[in-house]
Amino acid sequence: MATAVSPLAPERFPEMPAIDGVKVATAAAGIRYAGRTDVLLALLDPGTAVAGVFTKSKCPSAPVDWCRGKLKAGKARALVVNSGNANAFTGKSGVAAVKLTADIASKAAGCKPAEIFLASTGVIGEPLPAEKFGGVMDALVAAAEPGRWDEAARAIMTTDTFPKGAAAMVRIDGKPVTICGIAKGAGMIAPDMATMLSFVFTDAPLTPAVLQSLLTKGVEDTFNAVTIDGDTSTSDTLLAFATGTAAARGVAKISRASDPRLEPFRKGFNRVLADLAEQVARDGEGARKLVEVIVEGAASKKAARRIAMSIANSPLVKTAIAGEDANWGRVVMAVGKAGEKADRDKLSIWFGGVRVAHKGERDPGYDEAKVSALMKKPEIELKVDLGLGKGRDRVLTCDLTKEYVAINGDYRS
């Protein structure tokens, strides 16, 4: 795990309230490294609804397959997450490991194995020593307490340099409802529903179908609009859990995604997803700059997203930003290769709010000194206007530095 905290990290972990119906504990099971916390257990009250979105990789991990298979029932009693080993590309031993983990957790938590949800992150291709969960699970259940989000976020870190958390308080029927989320991710990030794990908890009384609708729509302009290196993980998992305990405060159950009472919750839920997604971008491996890529004037929103991702994933664009060079030629290249409609002679480009190229050539008012000063900032906006239509989108990324190569060159060492 990286030791130097990203210069783009938030000043501190946020204040996050406890959620009724959720208890958390962490432990060091020695999954890969000795002496570091590597297991998270979240215990959930009976009746907790669950929803999930997962990697679209054609080589998914065993925990992803497990969760997909258990999601249809819509109910969860516990979440078990480990770091250090992804339990991906592990064949029959991987399948056996998730079954053993679920059996160990279900016996300790007093529920069915099918009510246990699992996620793993870390090295791909190494068997997961699931028997090690047996050495800590009873103690985890006994120690579980409300809150403790900071500990939970730290337990799931791999190359992350800081724990990631976000919370929101909203009102439904005039009564308070809480949303808390944690995430991990710093490399192998190109969410296609991103190695990215995230878990969101709320006390709102929502049906599994409503929660799934919120989650499926919510990721599109948050987690799915972030890229660090263009690589989609085998293990990407985002699970949401709704305990429903706010019903005791007078919040009536929401059974329809079209229910107007859901709107304040939807906004708060999406704020939490967006906050976590930005923190992932801020913790990109070796990152020194957070980059917002905005594409306007495209033929459609879909086209704008594809062009924005082409720019954000370009090693040449990302290394130019690392070198604090407003090299718009590389942006033009990334636009041109995206496979979407573009007209060189209508293209305009901005770095940090300053137009550097216009209508197919360098802007006549271009000032190298002014732009160079802007490129030294830790946060940079890169905007492109194709001048073709009304399609607009934005994605978050970071620069590509020598540290990224060093981290990934030593990852299995």
Two structure tokens written together for 224: 């799915």
Q: How far apart are alpha carbons 44 and 53 in whole angstroms?
A: 19
**% of the chain with per-residue pLDDT over 90:** 86
Catalytic (active site) residue 195: yes
Strand spans (E) along 243-325: 290-298
What pLDDT does residue 193 have? 42
Two structure tokens written together for 396: 């978050």
Kindly tell me if the per-residue pLDDT of 3 is higher than 80.
no
Binding-site entries for substrate: 158, 184, 195, 285, 408, 413
**Based on the domain organization, do 320 and 233 belong to the same domain?**
no
**Based on the domain organization, do 217 and 325 belong to the same domain?**
no
**Based on the domain organization, do 107 and 185 belong to the same domain?**
yes
pLDDT tens digits, residue range 232-251?
888 999 999 999 999 999 99
CATH number at residue 361: 3.10.20.340
Kindly tell me if the per-residue pLDDT of 195 is higher than 80.
no
**Based on the domain organization, do 181 and 57 belong to the same domain?**
yes
Binding-site entries: 158, 184, 195, 285, 408, 413
13 in a structural domain: no
Mean pLDDT of 323-327: 94
214 in a structural domain: yes
Q: Are 177 and 56 in contact (CB under 8 A)?
A: no
Strand spans (E) along 203-305: 237-242, 290-298
8 in a structural domain: no
Instruction: Give residue 407's pLDDT band: very low, low, confident or very high (50, 70, 90).
Output: confident
pLDDT tens digits, residue range 202-238?
999 999 999 999 999 999 999 999 998 887 888 999 9
Strand spans (E) along 97-234: 116-123, 164-172, 175-184, 197-202
CATH number at residue 256: 3.60.70.12
Catalytic residue among 121, 195, 202, 245: 195
Nearest by Cα to 230 from 409, 404, 4: 404
What pLDDT does residue 413 have? 44
**% of the chain with per-residue pLDDT over 70:** 96
- Between the CA of residue 295 and those of 303, 309, 359, what are the distances in Å? 9, 10, 15
Q: What is the overall mean pLDDT for the chain?
A: 94
4 in a structural domain: no
Kindly tell me if the per-residue pLDDT of 192 is higher than 60.
no
**In terms of C-beta density within 10 A (0-12 exposed, 13-18 middle, 19 or more buried), how is residue 5 classed?**
exposed
Q: For 167, phi and psi rounded to 5 degrees? A: -145, 155
**Based on the domain organization, do 26 and 170 belong to the same domain?**
yes
Two structure tokens written together for 264: 């304040």
pLDDT tens digits, residue range 6-46?
999 999 999 999 999 999 999 999 999 888 999 999 999 99
Q: Would the pTM count as exceeding 0.85?
A: yes
**Based on the domain organization, do 278 and 302 belong to the same domain?**
no
Q: For 75, phi and psi rounded to 5 degrees? A: -125, 145
**In terms of C-beta density within 10 A (0-12 exposed, 13-18 middle, 19 or more buried), how is residue 379 classed?**
exposed
Q: How many domains does the chain have?
A: 2
pLDDT tens digits, residue range 32-43?
988 899 999 999
Most confidently modeled of 229-238, 302-311, 355-364? Answer: 302-311
Contacts of 406 (CB under 8 A, 6+ apart): 286
**Based on the domain organization, do 342 and 278 belong to the same domain?**
no
Mean pLDDT of 303-325: 96
HEC secondary structure over 81-146: EEEEECCCCCHHHHHHHHHHHHHHHHHHHCCCHHHEEEEEEEECCCCCCHHHHHHCHHHHHHHCEC
40 in a structural domain: yes
- Choose the final residue of a domain: 239, 262, 282: 282
6 in a structural domain: no
What pLDDT does residue 187 have? 64
What pLDDT does residue 404 have? 85
Two structure tokens written together for 106: 């279900």
Kind plus residue range of the DSSP H or E element containing 391: strand 391-398
Query: Which of these ranges, 51-55, 99-103, 281-285, 391-395, has the smallest mean pLDDT?
Result: 281-285
**Based on the domain organization, do 135 and 87 belong to the same domain?**
yes
- Choose the final residue of a domain: 248, 282, 316: 282
Kindly tell me if the per-residue pLDDT of 188 is higher than 80.
no
152 in a structural domain: yes
**Based on the domain organization, do 274 and 302 belong to the same domain?**
no
Mean pLDDT of 155-162: 92
Contacts of 318 (CB under 8 A, 6+ apart): 291, 312, 397, 398, 399, 400
114 in a structural domain: yes
- Choose the final residue of a domain: 229, 261, 282: 282
Mean pLDDT of 341-357: 95
Q: How far apart are alpha carbons 154 and 148 in whole angstroms?
A: 10
Q: How far apart are alpha carbons 133 and 114 in whole angstroms?
A: 17
**Based on the domain organization, do 266 and 307 belong to the same domain?**
no
- Cα distance from N-terminal residue to C-terminal residue, the chain: 11
What pLDDT does residue 2 have? 46
Q: Are 258 and 311 in contact (CB under 8 A)?
A: no
Q: Which has more pLDDT, 405 or 248?
A: 248
Q: Are 69 and 98 in contact (CB under 8 A)?
A: no
Two structure tokens written together for 164: 């990631």
**Based on the domain organization, do 362 and 226 belong to the same domain?**
no
Mean pLDDT of 347-362: 94
**Based on the domain organization, do 182 and 300 belong to the same domain?**
no
Q: Tell me the residue range of the domain where 369 lies.
A: 290-409
